[in-house]
Amino acid sequence: MEGPRFRAYFLHPRFWLLWLGLGLLWLVTLLPYSVLLRLGRGLGALMYRLASSRRQIVELNLQLCFPQLSASERQRLVQENFASTGMTFFEMAISWWWPVERLRRLGTVEGVEHLQQAEADGQGVILMALHFTTLEMGGGLLGMQRGMYGMYRPHKNPLFDYVQRRGREQRLLGVIDRDDVRGMLKTLRAGGVVWYAPDQDYGAQRSLFVPLFGVPAATVTATSKFARMGKARVIPFTQQRLPDGQGYRVIVHPPLADFPSENEEADCLRINQWIEQAIQVCPEQYLWAHRRFKTRPPGEAKLYKKRR
């Protein structure tokens, strides 16, 4: 895929407000890390008050996935989730724009030997990520230690798309359009590492309904298909924002053994069970604002209210 290119029309007045916002964000990232976290927490508190439709999605998702929690416990979790989401804006900028040595000091990476073993065995790797609010930080920290490619969905705004791609490719070997299946498989068969997250609702067409926290969830079958066709290992990785501004812990987990199997439904269930375990480590840092249960099995009522 061709790398990001600056285009003259990015200077058009319709982009000036975005340029201003990006410039202010870049200036803010010059502040100490502890200050950025406090700013993110404040932004999250503001979002909690103003983004009522997103708050309702988070509340419903947590009610579905953690019914054992009391109402007050879930409310605290909702508030912490918005705080984590607010921090994401600054973490995104940090991962794109901080110098390598400054970024490296923020985190530790464990389990790189699993990627090294796959390379030694001549196998490609599907690096299975989850949509935590810290995802950009995890990818940036790991990408500095091990060359990898990222699956990529172009942004609707061409200027932001340029800035986003350029920022990510500071840490990655490159990006692959999520619709470029042939390119992904070619990379895997050549022994490459591809960063891929299968934990969102992409509709019923290429999915099977299997439980996630006990709720039937449309789960893509692509993970096992890509692993089989690309002759690749599936190696999960997670990242966690540590308390008190201590930075991040990135873990490359052991590869999924005997994966893929001959049963796609069993593979999907296995992935969802792994996702559940990973989320329970730091549930406040997961992207609960995504409408994960939007697609319902035939005959089931929709769970989310329509956006106005």
pLDDT over 90 at 152, yes or no? no
Q: Domains in the chain: how many in total?
A: 1
Strands 107-110 and 193-196, by their bridges, are unpaired
For residue 91, what pLDDT is reported? 97
In a domain, 302, yes or no: no
In a domain, 290, yes or no: no
For residue 154, what pLDDT is reported? 86
In a domain, 301, yes or no: no
Q: Which domain covers residue 93, as residue numbers?
A: 8-285
Question: What's the pTM value of the predicted model, to 2 decimals?
Answer: 0.93
In a domain, 297, yes or no: no
In a domain, 293, yes or no: no
- Rounded to whole angstroms, what are the CA distances from 80 to 42, 44, 141, 229? 11, 8, 24, 40
Instruction: Give the SS3 label for residue 145.
Output: coil
Q: What is the mean pLDDT of the chain?
A: 94
Q: For residue 2, what pLDDT band results from cuts at 50, 70 and 90? A: low
In a domain, 211, yes or no: yes
The string of pLDDT tens digits covering residues 72-86 is 999 999 999 999 999
In a domain, 259, yes or no: yes
The string of pLDDT tens digits covering residues 24-45 is 999 999 999 999 999 999 999 9
Q: For residue 208, what pLDDT band results from cuts at 50, 70 and 90? A: very high
The three state secondary structure string of 230-277 is: CCEEEEEEEEEECHHHCCEEEEECCCCCCCCCCCHHHHHHHHHHHHHH
DSSP state string for 159-209: HHHHHHHHHHTTTSSEEEETT-HHHHHHHHHTT-EEEE---S---STTEEE
For residue 305, what pLDDT is reported? 81
% of the chain at pLDDT higher than 90: 90
In a domain, 295, yes or no: no
